[in-house]
Structure 1
């Protein structure tokens, strides 16, 4: 009698560094936390044979490989998870989709709009065949930010008038910090703007439910040269960026991002201001959401701290008793859960953001770059 249960979904992870480690943790824990389709961590891929072999053992993958093209052709691979530098996203994602695989691609979608458009074309054809093309803006799965989205959707803020997002880090403050692929335009596309600014802009659009229609932007490269393997090397991307965004619902948003903000380790601060209330959040305190109810009597108004650890809060039914806080890595597990549910029942669990949303955001990033090149001229999308 044949086994009625389907085989586990085979996962291939392309990339084993920082994001590869985070995604590996998610694939290791998702089945223990959530009721999802079974998976098999089939293979992890990297260019360095020895390094990827060590990563496979350390991160608990069945196999390792150095040729991603061969891996995406395997019949036992159903999901291709792309954690490479941005300049490789388009080639790998398009090939994986054309090979019939579901794809999860780290943000931002691509290094420029032309690449993103080609990825969207492949994703739309794949979606018509029943595949999922998912984009990894993981902070949407932070429970406190998911709760903030529920507050906005429930009308607790009234009409949104203004939003602020600042994503600040300090890992490049030291002018002697060495060059990396993140500081080269040909591999990273852009600097702080694409890397962390994409998160800030995605959150503004996602939480508000409004789309960016016009931008004014400024970029800065504060340390123009860094130590390279063969001597000093020119930095060809931005260290920091600022932008004003006009939204189609009438709100205005400001964005500030920097890798040069001394003392800020990984601070994504978001504030939303509406006619009936306000919200604020800081990723350095990821379990806290602050809410102000402006409909209460003035004498009673003030921000209320919501500790987002209750079973009734988004994603928390799978985790620990109330008051037992979650960490940064849990959002990746929540993301893996949503992807697996979208694969198993896409009619009920559509994955967002998809590649179309990634293309729309890439156009915002490119418009900010164009605005900076035009001395802060407003660019309409």
Structure 2
């Protein structure tokens, strides 16, 4: 999401991964998104927490964290972008709001603006409910399908693209390699060229 929003590529990382709980009950039943564990315990093969520092292609830096051990958080996919002209902040748990700070505002009255992005003028907002009625998790999937079909119909490359997805996987791979080597700085390979893809 950071790469997509900023238009910059993550070029290097220093990562740290941790598993806090090394054994968990082995699942004996599952349904929908849940399950039930039995008495048998098995090794945990996934990370409970990940953190990494990153360098962006434009010279900026990023700090990323993901964990399943953040009590009170449900799906806090948060992004904050700070620059010389201001800041933007977004939290998926409050997905109809964008927080914007304009660094050119009068310092005596400056502060974050809370922008409710449900007006018809906002992308996607005009295709749903009357102004002020929030969009939900399910609407995002409808928007993705519409964007994909419209791009394909126009003969254009969808965004995000499969190449964008590959770029994300390259970042994750670099984080894992860095963490396995005591958090050593690790470069992220650049976009694949036509010659390297064949």
TM-score, length basis structure 2: 0.86
Which of 203, 211, 222 is matched with 2:20 structurally? 222
Superposed displacement of residue 248, structure 1:
0.7
Q: Identify the match of residue 9 of structure 2 among 211, 219, 237.
A: 211
Does 2:179 correspond to 1:372? Answer: yes
1:239 aligns with 2:48: yes
* Post-superposition offset of 1:343: 2.2
> 1:300 offset after TM fit, Å?
2.2
SS in 1 for 2:63: strand
| 2:77 aligned residue | 268
CA deviation digits over 1:109-167, x for unaligned, max 9?
xxxxxxxxxxxxxxxxxxxxxxxxxxxxxxxxxxxxxxxxxxxxxxxxxxxxxxxxxxx
CA distance in 1, matches of 2:78, 2:170: 23
Does the Cα contact within 8 Å between 2:14 and 2:54 map onto a contact in 1?
yes
Bigger relative CO (Cα 8 Å, ≥ 6 apart):
2
Does structure 1 conserve the Cα–Cα contact (< 8 Å) formed by 2:10 and 2:54?
yes
**Is 1:337 matched with 2:135?**
no
Question: In the alignment, what sits opposite 1:307?
Answer: 116
For 1:334 and 1:376, how far apart are their aligned partners in 2?
Answer: 38
In structure 2, what is the Cα distance between the partners aligned to 1:320 and 1:353?
26
Give the superposition deviation at 1:346: 2.1
Q: Considering fraction of residues, name the structure with more helix.
A: 1
For residues 285-364 of structure 1, what are the structure 2 equivalents within 5 Å? 285-347=94-156, 350-364=157-171
> Gaps spanning 5+ residues in structure 2: where?
29-37, 189-198
| Inter-partner Cα distance in structure 2 for 1:357 and 1:307 | 28
Alignment of 1:11-26 (within 5 A): none
Question: What is the TM-score with the length of structure 1 in the denominator?
Answer: 0.45
Equivalent pairs, count? 177
C-alpha deviation, 1:218, in angstroms:
0.3
Structure 1, unaligned runs of 5 or more = 1-202
Alignment of 1:100-249 (within 5 A): 203-228=1-26, 229=28, 231-249=40-58
Checking the alignment, whether the CA contact within 8 Å between 2:81 and 2:88 is kept in structure 1 is yes
How large is the Cα RMSD of the aligned pairs? 1.1
2:93 paired with 1:284? yes
Q: Which has the higher strand share?
A: 2
Q: Give the secondary-structure state (helix, strand or coil) at the position aligned to 2:108.
A: helix
Residue by residue, what CA displacement relative to the aligned partner does 1:293-314 show, whole Å, maximum 9, x if unpaired?
1011211210000000000001
